[in-house]
């Protein structure tokens, strides 16, 4: 009778995996989870996918009226509607991806308790679903920008892609942390809601970096300007709003027209030492991914019991 050992090279030990890397090995499962999330998102809803346009539109008009007109920011920033909206879409992507990732494990507890599969699939599928929901907002921004006179260039498209890459990866990193902690401590979800509430104010969406530069301590400005959300919002501004306001100003000057206060300032450009802020933001994003994976693997051992 043969006693030759079995070849186990094609088998894996249940419960052991490669973390986020396993997601790419199970793309079919990821696709199913994304389809499930997008199909259920607006089920039994009258407006359906139109909510992807309604909510950011209402948000824009509220901010534009209060901050733009009541507080006078519109007169200090040329093409303020475009400046405002190009920042809002980035923050909305972060808020939705972060929030959905946090709730992803608890929302799929029936699957987590019954079968084994890489649990990272759930927060990553939630983030991909959030990105899909972000695309209609991006389409509206592009249409509005073109109406204002925006002409896409390779540089502007590169800034937009870099911004989206950083914000998605950063959301993935911190989303892994909060989704894991939220299984054991449901207070994490309340903490995330607070973060989402103040996110708009931690980036130059309603105001410009010039308005606070020199008015707060240098270390505080560095901390504010280096957070990935602020860096990504500025990239979007300089990809869409910056070249558009420059074209508008040049056209008015050539026609001999009078510039408003905001138009006279033109494109404020990036803040000083912006390259350093980008490097810090990228470093924080990589660190968030590493810590997020470590925390997730530590907590996932007890997901079934905690749920």
What are the sequence ranges of the domains in the chain? 20-41+49-306
Residue 46 has φ and ψ, to the nearest 5°, of -70, -45
Q: 266-270: long-range contacts at Cβ-Cβ below 8 A with a sequence spacing of 24 or more?
A: 266/78, 267/238, 267/241, 267/242, 267/243, 268/208, 268/209, 268/210, 269/238, 269/242, 270/234, 270/238
Torsion sign, CA atoms 80, 81, 83, 87: positive
Total-model pTM: 0.86
48 pLDDT band, cuts 50/70/90, is low
CB atoms within 10 A of CB 157: 11
Alpha carbon dihedral 158, 162, 165, 168, in 10-degree steps, equals -120
Q: Give the whole-number percent of the chain exceeding pLDDT 90.
A: 25
42 pLDDT band, cuts 50/70/90, is low
The stretch 81-104 carries a mean pLDDT of 90
Nearest to 292 by CA among 124, 77, 54: 124
pLDDT value at residue 3:
54
pLDDT digits (tens, 9 = 90+) for 97-127: 999 999 888 888 887 777 777 888 889 989 9
31 pLDDT band, cuts 50/70/90, is confident
pLDDT digits (tens, 9 = 90+) for 165-181: 999 999 999 999 999 89
41 pLDDT band, cuts 50/70/90, is low
User: Is pLDDT of 283 > 70?
Assistant: yes
190 pLDDT band, cuts 50/70/90, is confident
User: Is pLDDT of 38 > 60?
Assistant: yes
Q: Which residues contact 288 (CB under 8 A, 6 or more apart)?
A: 169, 170, 172, 173, 174, 177
Place of tokens 């389409």: 139
């Amino acid at each position: 009778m043969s006693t030759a050992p079995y070849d186990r090279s094609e088998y894996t030990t249940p419960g052991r995996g490669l973390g986020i890397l396993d997601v790419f090995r199970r793309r079919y499962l990821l696709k199913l989870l994304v389809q499930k999330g997008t199909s259920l998102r607006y089920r039994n809803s009258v407006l359906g996918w139109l909510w992807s346009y309604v909510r950011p539109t209402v948000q824009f008009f509220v901010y534009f009226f209060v901050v733009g007109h009541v507080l006078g920011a519109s007169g200090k920033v040329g093409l303020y509607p475009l400046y405002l909206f190009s920042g809002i879409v980035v923050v909305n992507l972060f808020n939705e991806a972060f929030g959905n990732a946090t709730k992803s494990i608890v929302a799929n507890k029936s699957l987590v308790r019954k079968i084994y599969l890489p649990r990272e699939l759930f927060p990553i599928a939630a983030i991909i679903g959030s990105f899909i929901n972000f695309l209609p907002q991006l389409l509206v921004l592009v249409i509005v920008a073109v109406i204002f006179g925006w002409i896409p260039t390779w540089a502007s498209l590169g800034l937009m892609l870099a911004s989206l890459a950083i914000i998605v990866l950063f959301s993935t990193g911190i989303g892994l942390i909060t989704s894991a902690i939220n299984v054991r401590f449901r207070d994490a979800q309340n903490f995330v809601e607070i973060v989402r509430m103040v996110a708009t104010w931690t980036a130059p969406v309603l105001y410009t970096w010039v308005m606070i530069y020199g008015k707060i301590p240098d270390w505080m400005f560095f901390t504010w300007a280096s957070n990935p959300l602020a860096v990504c919002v500025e990239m979007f501004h300089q990809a869409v709003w910056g070249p558009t306001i420059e074209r508008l100003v040049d056209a008015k000057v050539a026609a001999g027209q009078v510039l408003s206060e905001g138009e006279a300032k033109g494109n404020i450009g990036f803040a000083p030492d912006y390259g350093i802020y980008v490097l810090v933001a990228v470093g924080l994003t990589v660190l968030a991914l590493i810590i997020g994976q470590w925390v997730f693997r530590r907590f996932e051992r007890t997901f079934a019991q905690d749920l």
